[in-house]
Amino acid sequence: MKFFIDTANLAQIKEANELGVLDGVTTNPSLMAKEGIHGDAKVLQHYIDICNIVKGGDVSAEVIATDLQGMIAEGEKLAALHPQIVVKIPMTKDGVKALKYFSSKGIKTNCTLVFSPGQALLAAKAGATYVSPFIGRLDDVTFDGVDLIAQIVHIYRIYNYQTQVLAASIRHSMHIIRCAEAGADVATCPLNAITDLLKHPLTDIGLAKFLADHAANK
Ligand code: G3P
């Protein structure tokens, strides 16, 4: 399973990248706003800065337009920025048409705001590179988000769709483990969900004992 980090914070992207397990980055307009990145020029430069940190990794950049022509114009501009850019398109009727357009041009896409298997089926048929089911937001309304991941993985495997299942809206490390068990291709996570995977009290106790025994053995 690939690990992406879900943030526009450059320090956090660097930290995850230095761990050596980062495969890419996802952003969205809310995450860009959280970092205070606004205005076309600054937003575009920020995407380039992210690409330069995660060398070779896919970096999702979301369109703001909601009409087909607007999404195409904006997506083409984003894709031309850097070879690592993946154009992020919302799951709407015009969004599906835009996915099809970009797929026919060989431009990578990430279909976002997916909450049902039907939406995931449409994204795959339109040739999306990634589909992003939002599992935390489903949990928030008492549907098990990981069940949706398992359902989409199952459907895609039956038909051998090449669209990769990118589990999004991950809130904690248990989500990552359950998505891995469900067969997600990618998990995009906040930094703490990734670093929490490191933790186990028996590791800490075991290391302290090894060091104490080494010190006593001098
Ligand atoms: O990847 C989608 C993500 O940014 C949404 O996460 O926590 O706002 O539901 P959240």
Residue nearest to atom 10 of ligand 1 (CA): 169
- Please tell me the distance between residue 77's alpha carbon and the centre of ligand 1 in angstroms: 24
Residue nearest to atom 5 of ligand 1 (CA): 169
- Please tell me the distance between residue 218's alpha carbon and the centre of ligand 1 in angstroms: 52
Give per-residue pLDDT as tens, 160-195.
999 999 999 999 999 999 999 999 999 999 999 999
* Statement: residue 218 has pLDDT above 90: no
Give 106: exposed, middle or buried? Use CB within 10 Å, 0-12, 13-18, 19+.
exposed
Active site residues: 88
Compute the mean pLDDT over every residue in the chain, rounded to the nearest whole number: 97
- Please tell me the distance between residue 92's alpha carbon and the centre of ligand 1 in angstroms: 18
Residue nearest to atom 3 of ligand 1 (CA): 169
Residues paired with residue 188 on neighbouring β-strands, in sequence order: 4
Give per-residue pLDDT as tens, 96-107.
999 999 999 999
Identify the pLDDT of residue 53: 97
Shortest-distance atom of ligand 1 to CA 171: 7
Identify the pLDDT of residue 106: 98
Shortest-distance atom of ligand 1 to CA 169: 6
Give per-residue pLDDT as tens, 20-46.
999 999 999 999 999 999 999 999 999
Number of C-beta neighbours around residue 180 at 10 A: 13
- CA-to-CA distance for 9 and 118, rounded, in angstroms? 33
pTM attached to this predicted model: 0.96
Query: What percentage of the chain exceeds 70 in pLDDT?
Result: 100
Identify the pLDDT of residue 69: 98
Whether 144 and 184 have beta carbons less than 8 Å apart is answered as: no
Number of C-beta neighbours around residue 44 at 10 A: 18
- Please tell me the distance between residue 56's alpha carbon and the centre of ligand 1 in angstroms: 23
* Statement: residue 149 has pLDDT above 90: yes
Q: Does any ligand 1 atom lie closer than 6 A to the CB of residue 134? A: yes
- CA-to-CA distance for 128 and 88, rounded, in angstroms? 10
- Please tell me the distance between residue 154's alpha carbon and the centre of ligand 1 in angstroms: 23
* Token pair belonging to 5: 């980090």
Spatial CA neighbour of 135 closest among 183, 168, 172: 168
Q: Does any ligand 1 atom lie closer than 6 A to the CB of residue 110? A: no
Residue nearest to atom 1 of ligand 1 (CA): 168
